[in-house]
Each structure stands twice: as C-alpha cells, then as structure tokens.
Structure 1
Amino acid sequence: MVAAIELYLDVDATRRIRTLWRSLEAEGVPTLAGLLGNRHRPHVSLAAAPRLDPHAVSSALSGLEVGRGLALSMDFTGQFVGRVLWLGITPTEELLAHHRAVHERLAAAGVEVWEHYRPGRWVPHCTISMRVPNPQMAHAVRRCIEVLPLRATVTGAAVADHANDIDHRLGTAGPHEPS
C-alpha cells in the first residue's frame, strides 16, 4: 500500500497525460490509468508513505494552500529502478521551497514519510507507469518524449490512498506560502 500527498494538474495537462496513458495502454504498456480500477489521475506526489492519516496531514498543513497555483514544467522523462517511467519536472526555487514547507509542517506534526520524498532527495515527477515491460521501455520513453514539453498548473491537492479508497481533499484556505 502507498499513501501520498498528490498535487493535481490543470485540465489541459491532465488531458494530455491521460492521452499518453491511453496511447501506451493501447500498445501494451500498463500505466496508472489501469492501476487499481482507474482510480488514479495525473498527479505529482509531494510525499508518500505506507499510510498517511488524512486528518493528521490536513491539520499539519492547515492554512497552507498545498501546491495551488504552482507552475510546473515537465521537460524530460526518466526511470526509477523497477521499471517505473515518469515525466520529470524541472525543479524551481518556488517548487522546492513549497515542498520544503510541506515537509517541515509534516515533521513538526510527527507525520512520517518515506526518506526519498524528503527535501534534498525528492525527484519531482509525474508517474506514467509503475511497470513498463523491459522490451517496451525504449518505445515507452520515446512516446513520453513526444508529449514534452508539458506545462501544468497545480489546481488542488489531496491525501490519496487508492487501495483503501481514501481521497481526502486538502483545504485551500489561507495564502500560498512558498517557504
């Protein structure tokens, strides 16, 4: 199981990523579109852990417009060990400061997250597939490159644990706090 704080993208970016997912699925590459009964939507995870208490996260992030309005630029593709394919987000000072602010609040509230999502280790990305078949990796990478560059604006956020039907929207009250 994986729970995450997910940032959701504007309509155009979401549509373009869903089109990429459908194209890859039609070519035999499983994507997030088909994982867990189509519960996933295009997103960027700010933090992840085996479990996240949505109410503890909401409380820790109270008053912070989590991600809302951040401009993201997806300019490259990459892979993680285990055949995970993603669109890479060019890190900006604003994005990294916001990420750091979220993690400082989570840590102060005692909310544990995986080390590789913490500031200084996090690789900003939008996952396309969790398990690209090895013989299809080069083709899948080329297909991803075809949609780049992709610009997106964050329109909302949630604590999501799709395996457990958790989709807890994070509030948008208060000013955007980049640091």
Structure 2
Amino acid sequence: MVAALELYLDTDATRRIRALWNALEAEGIPTLAGLHGGRHRPHVSLAAAPRLAPDAVAEALRDLDVGRGLTLDLDFAGQFVGRVLWLGVTPTADLLAHHRSVHERLATRGVEVWEHYRPERWVPHCTVSLRVPNTQLAQAIRRCLEILPVRATVTGAAVTDHANDIAHPLGL
C-alpha cells in the first residue's frame, strides 16, 4: 500500500500527461492510467508512506494552502531503481520551501512519511510508470521527452490511497 499527499495540475498539463500515458499504454508500456481502476491523475507527491490518516494530515495542514501559488516546471525525464519512470520537476526555492513547511507541520503532528520524501532527500517528480519493461525503456524515455517541457499550475491537493479507494481533498 502507498498513501500520498498529492498536488494536482492544471487542465492543460493534466491533458498533456494523460496523452503521454495513453501513448505509452498503446505501445504496451504500463502507466498510472491503468492502475487501480484508472483512479490516478497526474500529480506531484509532497509526501508518501505506507499509510496516511487523511484527517491527521488535514489537521496538520489546516492553516496552510497546500500548493497554492506554485508553478511547476517539468523539464526532464528520470528513472528510479525498479523501472519507475517519471517527469522531473525543477526544484525551485518556492517549491522546496513549501515542501519543507508541509513536512515540518506533518512532523509536529506525528505524521510519519518515507525518508526519501523528506526535505533534503525528496526528488520532485510526476510518475509516469511504475514498471517500464527494460526492453522498452529507451522508447518510453523518448515519448516523455516529446512532451517536455510542461509548465503546470497547482490546482488542488489531496491525501490519497488508491488501493483503498481513499481520496481526501485538501482546501486550496
């Protein structure tokens, strides 16, 4: 199980990333489009853990407009170990400060997250696929590069756990 605090992107950026997902799926490369009954939407996760209690996260972030005013520039493609393909977000001072603020509030409330999502370790990204076949990796990266760059405005945020059908919107 994976729960996350997700930032959602404006209509144009979402459309472009969904078009990428669809193109990859048509080529036999699985993407987030096909996971958990299609409940995923293009996003950037600020935090992730095996479980996140939506009410605890909402309370910790109660006075913070999560994501408000952030513009994200997706400028490159990357891969994590395990065949995870993603679009990289340029880590601006505003984004990193916002991320730190979110994590300080979560820590104060005892909300635990995975180490690699904490400040100083986090790699801001928008996941494309969790399991690109090795033989199709170069093809998948080429497809990603075809849509870049993408400039996105954050339009919403939620605590999600798609495997358990949880999507708890946070006020923006």
Deviation at 1:63, TM superposition (A): 1.3
| Secondary structure at 2:21 match in 1 | helix
Q: Counterpart in 2 of 1:86? A: 86
TM-score by length of 2: 0.99
Give, in whole Å, the separation in 2 of the partners of 1:68 and 1:104.
17
What per-residue deviation string (whole Å, max 9, x for no partner) do you get for residues 130-152 of structure 1?
A: 00000000000010000001100
Give, in whole Å, the separation in 2 of the partners of 1:103 and 1:15.
29
Amino acid at match of 1:102: V
TM-score by length of 1: 0.95
Give, in whole Å, the separation in 2 of the partners of 1:96 and 1:65.
15
Gapped runs of 5+ residues in structure 2? none
Gapped runs of 5+ residues in structure 1? 173-179
Q: Counterpart in 2 of 1:54? A: 54
Count of aligned pairs between the two proteins: 172
Q: Counterpart in 2 of 1:31? A: 31
Q: Counterpart in 2 of 1:111? A: 111
Structure 1 runs of 4+ off > 6 angstroms? none
* Percent identity for Structure 1 against Structure 2: 77
Give, in whole Å, the separation in 2 of the partners of 1:45 and 1:9.
11
| Secondary structure at 2:99 match in 1 | helix
| Secondary structure at 2:37 match in 1 | coil
C-alpha contact 1:68 1:157 (8 A) present in aligned 2: no
| Secondary structure at 2:36 match in 1 | coil
Amino acid at match of 1:165: D
Amino acid at match of 1:30: P
Deviation at 1:69, TM superposition (A): 2.4
Give, in whole Å, the separation in 2 of the partners of 1:124 and 1:18.
19
Give, in whole Å, the separation in 1 of the partners of 2:24 and 2:76.
17
Q: Counterpart in 2 of 1:175? A: none
What per-residue deviation string (whole Å, max 9, x for no partner) do you get for residues 69-97 of structure 1?
A: 20000110000000000000000000000
| Secondary structure at 1:4 match in 2 | strand
What per-residue deviation string (whole Å, max 9, x for no partner) do you get for residues 106-151 of structure 1?
A: 0000000000000000000000000000000000001000000110
Which structure shows the higher helix fraction?
A: 2
Q: Counterpart in 1 of 2:65? A: 65
Amino acid at match of 2:6: E
C-alpha contact 1:85 1:130 (8 A) present in aligned 2: yes
Give, in whole Å, the separation in 1 of the partners of 2:69 and 2:42.
16
